[in-house]
Amino acid sequence: MGLLDFFRSPRQTSAAVARERLQILVSHERSERNKPSYLPMLQEDILAVIRKYVAVDPDAVTVTMEKQHNREILELNVVLPERTVKRRRSYART
Amino acid sequence: MARIIVVTSGKGGVGKTTTGAAFAMGLALRGNRTAVIDFDVGLRNLDLVMGCERRVVYDFVNVINGEAKLNQALIRDKRCQDLYVLPASQTRDKEALTKEGVGRILDELAESFDYIVCDSPAGIERGATMAMYYADDAVVVTNPEVSSVRDSDRMLGILASKSRRAEQDAEPIKEYLLLTRYSPQRVKVGEMLSVDDVQEILSLHLLGVIPESMAVLNASNRGVPVILDEESDAGQAYADVVARYLGEDLPHRFLEEQKKGLLSRLFRG
């Protein structure tokens, strides 16, 4: 090992990179295939209900199903549009 | 009642047929009446690895279609009287395997055998799905390599959703991980996924680790299941795998680099 190597950040081994990539990929693919088949329809219905009251983007609603140990978590995420009213800035200084 | 074991992997070339041949021979050597079936219709190779390629007269598809009786197609192993091979058809296409036909043959085999080992083809098409459909246990053969691990995980998904046990809401197929072509030297220097890495990613029960070994090619060259090479690391590892499958609690071997003594260096290369 040269003197310069001492200052470089230690390089990850290729096996460590493989492990990380696989962990991410496998957990993603598992969650995809464990999705209940009604999820896209549920997402559409929820979006329709929300749009009756708030003008949100079609992609503002995401529904995900996660399994942790022996319970399932249905996660609903709605991004509301930002308010058009500008906030007043306070110029107060201390 | 026979136990049906599928040897599967998704990816090709990881050692399914080597494993199917060794595993079936191992079960039979312990006095279990065992049949091993090649599901790779169109690309049969189990007969070659088992060394009975010149004795094939009828095949699996002939029996399904009623063109031959099961006992005409079964080839009795010359080294072990409790082992029989049912070769795949080389000429038909894989659509010849029907769920009903395969089920009928397995039922008939179950009357007189203790274990039925189904050697699955690569991929996720008919041959592979038929090999796993009726399984009670699955040996998922995996190499410590990204594409093999990913494909194994994909097969786990299929085992859990498309098998008879899944469809009938019965107790799920028991899944076992068999890590093959393992090189402790490369793991040590960080060039290969370790057994712990693969086990953690797939979260499967580890049935065994087969080291990368010269013995495997030497055995298939000769048409001898590698488990019969009792001197070899791979042969011993497969013997351990069979013992573990049958319930023995054995420590895993060949996970560390084998230190070669001076004498073995001189005499065995």
Picking from A15, A25, A30, the nearest residue to B193 by CB comes out as: A15
Closest by Cα among B21, B17, B15, B5 to B228: B21
Chosen from B146, B147, B196 to mutate, greatest number of chain A CBs within 10 A: B146
pLDDT cut 70: percent of chain B above it = 96
A43 vs B104, residue with greater confidence: B104
Question: What is the torsional sign of CA B66, B116, B25, B123?
Answer: positive
* Residue B153 in tokens: 């995980």
Kindly identify which residue of chain B lies nearest to residue A11, measuring between CA atoms: B190
**Which residues of A make CB contacts under 8 Å with B?**
13-16, 18-19, 21-23, 25-26, 29-30, 33
Q: Which of B190, B194, B201 sits opposite A23 (nearest CB)?
A: B201
The mean predicted confidence, pLDDT, of chain B is 95
Average pLDDT over residues A20-47: 87
- The 3-state DSSP class for residue A81 equals coil
Least confident range from A25-34, B41-50, B80-89: namely: A25-34
**Using one digit for the tens of pLDDT, what is the confidence trace for B204-231?**
999 999 999 999 999 999 999 999 999 9
Q: What is the pLDDT of residue B60?
A: 96
Higher pLDDT, B35 or A28: B35
Q: Is the dihedral of CA B181, B184, B187, B193 positive or negative?
A: positive
Alpha helices (H) along B207-257: 214-222, 233-245
The pLDDT, as a whole number, for residue A8 is 62
Residues of chain B in contact with residue A16, where contact means CB-CB under 8 angstroms, are 190
- For chain B, the residues whose C-beta falls within 8 A of a C-beta of chain A are 145-146, 149-150, 153-154, 157, 161, 187, 189-194, 197, 200-202
Can you say whether the dihedral through the CA atoms of B246, B225, B10, B7 is positive or negative?
negative
Q: How many CA atoms lie within 13 A of B88 on its CB side?
A: 28
Q: Which of B150, B189, B197 sits opposite A19 (nearest CB)?
A: B197
- Give yes or no for residue B240 having a pLDDT over 80: yes
Q: What is the pTM of this model?
A: 0.84
* Least confident residue range of A34-38, A77-81, A90-94: A90-94
Write the pLDDT tens digit of every residue in A63-73. Answer: 887 777 788 88
Can you give the pLDDT at residue B49?
97
Helices (H), chain A: 14-33, 39-53
pLDDT greater than 50 at residue A94: no
**Spatial contact of B94 and B65, defined as CB atoms under 8 Å apart:** no
Alpha-carbon distance A36 to A67, whole Å? Answer: 11
With contacts defined as CB-CB under 8 Å, which chain B residues touch A29?
150, 153-154, 157
Element (H, E) at B38: strand B34-38
- Asked whether residue A85 carries a pLDDT value surpassing 70, the answer given is no
Return the closest-CA partner of residue B86 out of B153, B163, B24, B13: B24
pLDDT over threshold 60, residue B269: no
